[in-house]
Structure 1
Amino acid sequence: MNSRLSFGIKNIFSIAARERCITNFKRLTIPRYGKIPTDAGSVLVPLCQVGGKPSLLYTVRATNLRGNGGEVAFPGGKTDHRDGSPTQTALRETFEEIGLAPDKIDVWGQGPPLPGRNNKIMITPVIGSIDNLTQDDLNINMNEIAEVFTVPIEMLCEPKNQFYTQFSNGFILPVFVIEEYKIWGITAYITHSFLSSILTKDVYRNEWMKKKIILDKIAVK
């Protein structure tokens, strides 16, 4: 049987895939530049089943927001004094933004904090799965979120949907373009890291990594 179908589609919710994912996710390479920010936040990486297809859930931030308005993001936000852990932050913010209740989310674990846009906040990605997500599970806060959408994992694995961008500070990050949605920045990096953690290289390969390795070698010379 095709390894892509057997592992990518049928086994992604298995205990073995979950253990592989968290073990690898905790070993993420952390891009660093400048001073480490003092502000902290968390995002949820929501793995869900939609129409029987393993998918990731994303939000489109409301255009009226002061920061990152109109951009694609995972649900999440800044740590609050009420939060006792990054996981609590991710679950609370997810509920406040899209109405997805914490008891609907099976938390797998978290990765290391990553620098967010402009290095102003450290963001901890928290992975959680939602079985058979339906529209009834959501209650979108339109003051913060303009739209919620899901992308099948297999579409994120398609080379035709994968691109990359190089920032002025030298960092090269992946970009995913799915129909009218552009997933970039820290959200794309977390997406790539999740896919790399849970899938084998024969299932998920991203050409931006090859470009990054080549440019890194040139920089060393």
Structure 2
Amino acid sequence: MALTDDAIDTIKSLIIAGEFPPGSRLPREEDLAQRLGLSRSSLREAVRALTAMQILVTKQGDGTYVSSLEPHLLLENLSFVADVSHGETAMQLLQVRRLLEQQATALAATRITDADVTRLDAILARSRRAADAEDVEEFIRCDMEFHRSIAALVGNPVLAMLLEVLSTQTQRVRILRGTRVGRAIEHVHREHETILAALAARDAQLAGAAAAVHVAAVERWLAESQTVRERP
């Protein structure tokens, strides 16, 4: 395993150094193994691992290429981490989301237009209908669309992607269903309305604070649901 890890690190270093730029084809397996001083089996293991990380792409009958290395590809594994996270890891992910979302929402307040406010209001109207019906899946879709739309106003796709993967649909549904669903949905909807009101007022400080309070409430629900599960 140590040889495979060394091979992974070496290939990463070559990519970072620009020797294998995004989209480029790696040398033939035999040549690359010889160059790196590895057995072909160790190299294959390294390539498989880097392919799973979306750093490399294997094309059947054509060879192995460096991926585009776009952030959305490299962050996909983090989405899986958020989906399966529980306990302390889930709490830590939400803490990071709270820090980023507060700043993103504050910045969005300085860039939002009347048309953006109208669009966000329409999302919350759909969210209200879902809340009234206690339709968790639809409510979460609206929830994600609301936050995604706010993050998009910042104009930084890396930040938007980070925020989205830090709290996935799977994670949000799990947290909501770990609480009293009806009450939790109502609270989330009211918090969304508070965020939108601050954005509409172009009040960056209030918008950021409202976003922080919103994510902090989700953290609290997660902590409470974990406490319930841990009780004897």
TM value normalised by structure 1: 0.27
TM value normalised by structure 2: 0.26
More strand by share: 1
More helix by share: 2
